[in-house]
């Protein structure tokens, strides 16, 4: 990683932890894991997240995704916020957005790039009798290399 990427990553991590520490400890919701596909190039990804209640149906959702393209490295660091939409169903339904950092580094010749991104997302969570909540989420990433992401996750 180049120096700019390291600094942006460090800034993202520090901002995430600051925001999480400011959230009321009783309202902290869940850690989670996710996997899915980046539609542009059909690349699989794995990731992790933290979900923290901000009150009034708003949630802070910092997350990282490690995309697995052929012959390159691709990471996204995201600071998303979403709103749980009230519904007459047991499903969790949310919509939101956030800011992200997209880091791409091709194997071999070529230069790495770090881009800012705007995320737009929509998701459905499926309540269970335990703390485990499976979900599906669609996300649009708007950046120099825009993408559509379909994720399947588990929050615990």
User: For residues 126 and 145, what is the distance between their CA atoms, to the nearest angstrom?
Assistant: 31
Q: Is pLDDT above 60 for 17?
A: no
Task: Please report the domains of the chain, with CATH numbers, ordered by start residue.
Answer: 3-21+28-155 (2.40.160.20)
Residue 150's SS3 state is strand
Q: What's the half-sphere exposure (Cβ side, CA atoms, 13 Å) at 123?
A: 30
What are the pLDDT digits (tens) for 20-79?
A: 554 444 445 899 999 999 998 689 999 999 999 999 999 999 999 999 998 899 999 999
User: For residues 77 and 55, what is the distance between their CA atoms, to the nearest angstrom?
Assistant: 23
Q: Residue 133's beta-bridge partner residues?
A: 155
Q: What is the pLDDT of residue 33?
A: 98
Q: Residue 99's beta-bridge partner residues?
A: 79, 118
């Amino acid at each position: 990683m180049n120096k700019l990427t390291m600094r942006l990553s460090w800034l993202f991590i520090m901002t995430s932890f600051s925001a999480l520490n400011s959230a009321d400890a009783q309202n902290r919701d869940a850690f989670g894991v996710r996997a899915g596909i980046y539609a542009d190039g059909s690349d699989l990804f794995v990731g992790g997240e933290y979900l923290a209640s901000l009150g009034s149906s708003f949630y802070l959702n910092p997350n990282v995704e490690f995309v697995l393209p052929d012959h390159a490295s691709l990471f996204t660091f995201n600071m998303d916020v979403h709103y749980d939409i009230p519904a007459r169903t047991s499903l969790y339904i949310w919509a939101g957005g956030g800011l992200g950092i997209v880091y791409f580094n091709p194997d071999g010749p070529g230069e790495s790039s770090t881009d800012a991104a705007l995320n737009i997302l929509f998701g459905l969570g499926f309540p269970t009798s335990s703390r485990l909540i499976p979900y599906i989420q669609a996300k649009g990433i708007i950046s120099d290399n825009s993408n559509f992401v379909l994720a399947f996750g588990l929050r615990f």
